[in-house]
Amino acid sequence: MKQKSLEIFIAGPSGRLEAKYFKNEKKGSPIAIVLQPHPQYGGTMNNRVVQEAFNVFIKNGFSVLRLNFRGVGKSEGTFDNGQGELSDAAAALDWIERENQDYSQCWVSGFSFGSLICMQLIMRRPEVTRFVAIAPQPNVYDFTFLAPCPTSGQIIFGEKDELVSKDSINDLNFRLKNQKGIEVDFAEIKNANHFFNTKENELKEVMNTYVEKNTELI
For the stretch 82-95, pLDDT in tens is 999 999 999 999 99
Q: Are strands 130-134 and 31-35 parallel, antiparallel or unpaired?
A: unpaired
Q: Is residue 106 part of a domain?
A: yes
Q: Give the domain CATH number at 104.
A: 3.40.50.1820
Q: Is residue 41 part of a domain?
A: yes
Residues 6+ apart with CB under 8 A from 69: 17, 35, 36, 39, 75, 79, 84, 85, 88, 89
| The total number of structural domains that make up the chain | 1
Q: pTM of this prediction?
A: 0.97
Strand, helix or coil for residue 8: strand
The pLDDT profile of the chain, 218 residues, written as one tens digit per residue, is 456 899 999 999 999 999 999 999 999 999 999 999 999 999 999 999 999 999 999 999 999 999 999 999 999 999 999 999 999 999 999 999 999 999 999 999 999 999 999 999 999 999 999 999 999 999 999 999 998 999 999 999 999 999 999 999 999 999 999 999 999 999 999 999 999 999 999 999 999 999 999 997 55
Q: Is residue 10 part of a domain?
A: yes
Q: Would you state the pLDDT for residue 1?
A: 41
Q: Is residue 35 part of a domain?
A: yes
What is the arrangement of strands in the sheet containing 184-189, beginning at the earlier edge strand? 6-12, 15-22, 63-67, 31-35, 106-111, 130-134, 153-158, 184-189
Q: Would you state the pLDDT for residue 4?
A: 85
Query: CA 57 from chain center: how many Å?
Result: 11
Q: Is residue 144 part of a domain?
A: yes
Q: Are strands 130-134 and 153-158 parallel, antiparallel or unpaired?
A: parallel
Q: Is residue 1 part of a domain?
A: no
Maximum pairwise Cα distance, the chain: 44
Phi then psi dihedrals of residue 209, to 5 deg: -60, -45
Strand, helix or coil for residue 160: coil
Q: Is residue 192 part of a domain?
A: yes
Domain span at residue 108?
6-215
Q: Are strands 153-158 and 184-189 parallel, antiparallel or unpaired?
A: parallel
Q: Is residue 73 part of a domain?
A: yes
Phi then psi dihedrals of residue 24, to 5 deg: -90, 125
